[in-house]
Chains A and B, each alone.
Chain A
């Protein structure tokens, strides 16, 4: 946590300003020292090193920034390319003027230094020096001659006398100092005008060597306390000896001449030094200027990085924010930069994201509401007992509730997007529904239709009441149709049972009740009057009363049969194999009717059905009996019973077909064949086939009558099979009782 302020400080402008400031100060001091400033002269090498170190730091910073920028460009970081462009622009803008300035500064500098030197000045100074030398040479030659004459006076002088003679000679000459030296430079005697001078200025070894060669020496010399003087050393050949002595004389140059000579020499020396230092001076100034140029360039490039990064920071933020918004993050709020154009842009962006976030929240709320409503609608539709299908404008199934799947026994959710025609072709038992819808759906927009449709699938016979409506919508996308249907099989059965029960009750009440008094009255009449009547009359009475009683019994039987027909079924459904039952009844009826053959063709793999064995036995009785009755008085009558397994889209069905080769069905009864009291036989009740149909419907089956071209009648019955065959419940209850489908 404590590092954050430090980090902020390090990444802020302070380090840059400090570094640039230090380098500027260092360069200033170096420039001062280059200009002969004693204050910084001693620090020159350190300043040079410091500046080079600073430049290396700048180069390092630039390289680090370049590396960072190149990495950002590779990673396609927002604003990196703009930063590069700005850096290049800033650098080029800085490079051009600085380079121009550097070039012209160097030119001016070199020309300025060169302009200090003039050939004429140099010649004048050389001539002045030569003039001075000539003037002094003349003086020196005079002094040499004088010195040689003095030396001649010392040729035969002993060492002990020499001091006195030197004093005399000094007093009579212009010399300020006379010294007699031995061969090896040893001082023999000395005399000086300066009484404080204890040791005379001695000639150098080079002069002594010359004089030892018997050559005189005369030359100018800078003597301490004397200034410019003429030093003369001449050899003295000691008389009568091989010993060599030397006489040195120091003759001060006249003061005025000395001053002039000093001036000329100083000017000449200074000029020559300057001329010699011209190239190093240029080199030194060029070095300083180059350092300044490098510093300016590197600092400009580095500051270009800092400035570009600072300039592109809001743009980088904007790009990052835009990407975040594009990715769906509307909570982005960019930091507020300065109050400039970019600041206004950032504020506008923040305002935009705020509004987008609001709209997005609003949309999400609306979407949630819609989804809630949709879920509610789905719950409502899912809990409806009615099947509801919606069909879009392309006649494809759009939605289907769970009740529709249960009623139709088709996984409609897997069929969404398919047309009803495709679905009906895949599930054949839906063909009647599709045909009914196809005929009605073309009626037009806004028109509703209703129709009862009977399906026969694996679950058996189903009666649906269908209601359809074409939806009116301004947008064709939302146009379509809605199909609502209910399974009213049970309802119809119940209504029918109730109707027939009412009929039976009314019959019992209206017909059966009077029959007993009629029968009793007829029997009482016979009992009361028969004994009293004549035999002929008695015979008539008994025959008529007997007729009344028989007819009444017959009517009672008819009423009881009808009651039986109309009574609500009390079915005991259990898994039942039809083949043994058929075989049993075939054996029962085989040979019972002369001239009629009974054949059975049974499917060994016929599946088990869920049925009441007693009712099925009655069904077979009625059918076989009905067939036998149709073949009465017919030669070569034949009844065939056949069982088969039928496969449909809804599953397996067990089919039972009874065919005869009788006269067929008269046209007058064909349409009302299964209605009660419809018979062509003299003694029939007319309930045989009605009961058959009733039993079939009680078991959810379908009955169909056909008249083959070969003649006769063929009645086929299809019953739904047990779904889990072989897993019959032990309590005898059907696994899927059709009547309990909607219970």
Chain B
């Protein structure tokens, strides 16, 4: 075999050898290959059927190709004209029918899953309703059954169907929690409904999956699945009255400068992200992590405070193109920034 024929074979073998290595299932809170819920699981199962069929096809084609290249390469000095074959009816029928059968094998679970995922649980009394409104560059989560609204971090109970209604407040976005299930678009002017289920408690990473501007990559959100009791406590805490800063100066700044766009408890405005219990969230602004590398998802209030200051001091540096003015634009003093950051970092909801 010529050297570069062998080289080509080796290259192909290496590529396929890499598959088991690279198919490291990925993070349990992020990977579609590491499904953590029944929706993601079913999607993964369809993927497995498809990959199985496709691997078969690829192996057959590759084997044929390699055989042909080796067996029928022109030998040195050979000037003969091969037999000119017009075709072969039997072969053509085989390689038409077999692919059709393989596609039917894929089509069946496909259509089944489409039906399953289209089920509308919005009016199901056992489901939890969440209205998701996507903005540049944050996520609003409203729970109409409880009269509460939060942002950036979706808290849900395990073991229940979470029925989502998705819409966008400005441009198109797309709501995706890969470990839990596939995505659905947030369109302005049209609502989409779908559902997800979270059987295992934990924090799952959500991503925006539709180009929405310069900070598209920073529009992460989290989904926190907790047991039913914790969820009930969270709802109750969210429904409680606003907790405002203790210091008069800081409180006055917070109410006059922040609550014109934000809300805490029963006070403030719905224009921007709801800040109730910000200290309990894993991130600030959806993208600045409040945990430490040693203890993932365990919140360190000192970190949260630092992140809030980072955000306030220059929002455009964190998320270019976002709508929130920076501290300078709001004429916040250093003292006010520090005070608000400390207050928000310590504004924790006790529910877990």
Are A and B bound to each other?
Answer: no
Question: Which B residues lie at the A interface, using CB under 8 A?
Answer: none
Question: Which A residues lie at the B interface, using CB under 8 A?
Answer: none
